[in-house]
Amino acid sequence: MKKHIVVLANSVKHDPGRCIAGREIVPTGESGAWVRPVSLIGEGELQPAHYRLEGGGTPQVFDVIEISVETLPKADPTQPENWLISVEAPWKRIG
């Protein structure tokens, strides 16, 4: 599944890990729910290989990106914004 999000947070979490999150952009162009891509490593932090962008670089605050995600095997009802990343697919900056 692909999600388009506007990045609103990009912070260090267990260096070199990152916590990246933002609001989903829905087909109407409005902002949707919060989305936080997570990995199965540690506390869900993303490693540099996880958030690489096609063509190089890393997501910056206010970038609009496309990411491939899956639902979590054990979703946490207190953190519904968490989505497991698909590690094979690079992220794309689309705006």
- The tens digit of pLDDT for each residue in 2-27 reads 999 999 999 998 888 999 999 999 88
What is the rounded distance in angstroms from the CA atom of residue 28 to the CA atom of residue 16? 36
- The tens digit of pLDDT for each residue in 35-44 reads 999 999 998 9
CA torsion angle for 78, 31, 57, 19 (degrees, to 10)? Answer: -20
Stretch 71-92: mean pLDDT, rounded?
A: 85
> 10 Å Cβ neighbour count for 79?
12
